[in-house]
Chains A and B, each alone.
Chain A
């Protein structure tokens, strides 16, 4: 009989031994493997245009305008619905994207390498809050910002990152995550500390490599005003760390959780390339003023890779400052973390929670334990408006749909115990 505990231990050890480093940047079309010329990557499991939710459609439209594949939103929709653009999940290309997670060929991406296994992961630069592409907005201001990020932000960050890397001081993302957990971040809905640490660490290299101080100041101000800038880097670090744990015979370790705004999907280490999906849940949300509960789109984004790694909502006990997002007390935050220990393989050896006496964060979702106990993982999340073009309406917490885990558990039984 298959030894599930041993297989999961192997998966866990791979994740715990990961060394995700920020090694460079590049244009998505040039660096992401098998990225087609007329291809758009998106968050979550595969989905066709017709079934896409508002914010994902909005982000696709925005990306097509940005690429110049269409000159109006209407034209973009027409092209997309005719199947003249290829859609593929980020996760099929070692990439991850927050919220809609759309990556188009011209977009600059960070390259994170897991030095233990020499695998790479890719992610875009974070746009900040408000009207942004990842929440499905595609107005001129959104496109203009994307262009600025390509023309100004990218070259300056790229030069700094390259300089750090060349001087043998590549930024160690795992280390930043561990530190940020002790500074009130849980690395999903709160990235204030991690973003600050990132900027502080990179700053000397940015200065050394800068040829235009005015532009550098613009970049630093942008990072300073965007508390979520590190989220994308954290996600790529998580992706690079967890991916080597996939494909272990007999393992029930969850290696991907992702949502596309319509479906929630997972992959499991020992269950091959199959996605196990269920309709995405609607988050419990703290709404920004002026929005109503019925505006809320079902859950969306690859950012659940943070919980897959063992932070995010799993580390809520480390982030008492954001409990208002979950509408509760700091004790509620602690309880979410404690609950997740009941469905995880182990505790993290590097990420820990001061309030829990430095106990390691719950790490490694075991799909069988989820199905057995009926406890499904919780996620912290941003919340998008249902309609394309509107953007973010709030932030909150969401319980992932148990059905996806049950399907995977049933498949596990079929595969290994039949």
Chain B
């Protein structure tokens, strides 16, 4: 049964509410639980999730607690929700022992030397808050999505006038002087400076560079729209400028989907005149043929390999050849595990990783269906129902509204694994497991429990191929995350590109 309770005139941030909901759904007998401030958008989301809110007089300052559970426990669950709100189970005493200011001015009075604001509040408020931060002379990293294009342009133009950086909106990852902001891996410092329009693309190159012993000093995120014609690459170009000027940065790496032609041209010209080695990792780009000291790459691991060669002063082409050799070896690996029948299903938390996997797979298997497809013709009508060979990006807005980002909580994706495995036509399930600051404390455990359930139910009919994007120094410790997945029979690859290839090769 369903129970809805309204608490008037309060405010809780969405992440706290989602965490409470997450805790509630862990309780036996709870089918679903959601807590939201009653904004118009949230009411729609809750209704879409099957909660009946009709006949309620709701205002944005009301908190809605909605629970589906067995009748005997449902009152207790509502009470539990309130208890968690006032006394969150995840809060340690250390945290409650301090004061968190509630306004920007309050924060600045406590830390007057602040130079950057990391903003991750709801998109409808994020733009104005970012503007206020710029007014206070702060650089801005705007993690929030759902900020309008007009607002993005306005922010970036004003920031440019004042010599301030606006990373984002929808910028999940950045590194400044080795400090990771948002989702970021604990990689070593080094001579590389990055500018990235793709969050997990940045993380993958960062991690792959670390695997090759190369460190990164700065990685400036721009948000995916920065390189579109409307924004004109304002942040990308400012980032490049700063990295060109910085003597500690020896090689510049660009990562993202291919920019709009105009923007691409500007970036290229600036890099040519900047006269610093640069590697352009445009995922799925068309540009061919290196023009040293500028190199063109199409995949993330390739970008890292070529960058490592440039840093080390070795031959980038040789690095590419080595990589291709490795990819060839995956065929042997595939036959070692035995080929499977049916379709490939990819379940991703990282948008760029999902995009790259589709690029790889479409060359080997033909068209790939997705909620974020390479080609709009193959867009899934319902993101929750797979078709054919298919890859789903759980980081898309449709999944993150009212829910934690899949890199912070894989439980939704883990449930989908179990659903996919029930279909006889599925042979391979491919997934990523992204580590680092900002991410869940143990995503592998969340995924492994689903995978072992699948194994119990269908045995070896389905093979799981995974990639752990992370390093040893990450809070989750990459090797122990890998072990958790290997222990439930997951075949792990060394990069996202390799995982996608291996998954395809495992299909007949």
Contacts and interface: CB of A to CB of B under 8 A. Distances in A.
B21 to A, nearest CB: 23
B103 A334 contact: no
Contact of B103 (A331, A335, A342): A342
B99 A342 contact: no
Contact of B102 (A331, A334, A342): A342
B292 interface: no
Interface residues of B, number: 11
A339 B109 contact: no
B97 A342 contact: no
B103 A375 contact: yes
Given A341-B106, A342-B105, A335 B11 contact: no
Contacts, number: 31
A331 B11 contact: no
A204 interface: no
Interface string A252-265: 00000000000000
B96 A342 contact: no
B101 interface: yes
Contacts of A375: 102-103
Contacts of B98: 331
A375 B97 CA distance: 20
Contacts of B96: 331
A374 B101 contact: no
Interface string A335-378: 10011011000000000000000000000000001001111000
Contacts of B11: 374
A335 B101 CA distance: 9
A360 to B, nearest CB: 13
Indicate the member of B11, B96, B103, B109 with the most A CB atoms within 10 Å. Answer: B103
B99 A334 contact: yes
A331 B101 contact: no
B128 to A, nearest CB: 11
A177 to B, nearest CB: 25
Contact of A335 (B99, B105, B109): B99
A331 B105 contact: no
Interface string B228-248: 000000000000000000000
A331 B96 CA distance: 8
Contacts of B109: 341-342
Interface in B96-121: 96-99, 101-103, 105-106, 109
Nearest to B101: A342
Nearest to B97: A331
Interface in B129-170: none
B102 A339 contact: yes
B187 to A, nearest CB: 37
Contacts of A339: 99, 101-102, 106
Interface in B73-107: 96-99, 101-103, 105-106
A335 B110 CA distance: 13
A335 B98 CA distance: 8
Interface in B355-390: none
A327 to B, nearest CB: 10
Indicate the member of A334, A338, A372, A375 with the most B CB atoms within 10 Å. Answer: A338
Nearest to A401: B9
Nearest to A328: B96
Contacts of B99: 334-335, 338-339
Nearest to A332: B96
A373 B132 CA distance: 12
Contacts of A374: 11, 102
B96 to A, nearest CB: 7
Nearest to B61: A402
B11 to A, nearest CB: 7
Nearest to B106: A342
A369 B103 CA distance: 10
A334 B96 CA distance: 12
Interface string A370-389: 00111100000000000000
Interface in B215-262: none
A8 B109 CA distance: 19
Contacts of A335: 99
A373 B97 contact: no
B101 A338 contact: yes
Contacts of A331: 96-98
Contacts of A338: 99, 101, 106
B139 to A, nearest CB: 22
Nearest to B110: A338
Contacts of A341: 106, 109
Indicate the member of A342, A374, A375 with the most B CB atoms within 10 Å. Answer: A342
Contacts of B106: 338-339, 341-342, 373
A11 to B, nearest CB: 19
A342 B99 CA distance: 12
A81 B98 CA distance: 52
A264 to B, nearest CB: 13
Contacts of A369: 103, 105
Nearest to A372: B103
A369 B106 CA distance: 11
A334 B99 CA distance: 8
A222 to B, nearest CB: 41
B249 to A, nearest CB: 39
A369 B102 CA distance: 12
5 contacts: A331-B96, A331-B97, A334-B99, A342-B102, A342-B105
6 A-B pairs with least C-beta separation: A342-B106, A373-B103, A338-B99, A335-B99, A342-B103, A375-B102
Given A342-B106, A342-B109, 16 more contacts: A331-B97, A331-B98, A339-B99, A339-B101, A339-B102, A339-B106, A341-B106, A342-B102, A369-B103, A369-B105, A373-B103, A373-B105, A373-B106, A374-B11, A375-B102, A375-B103
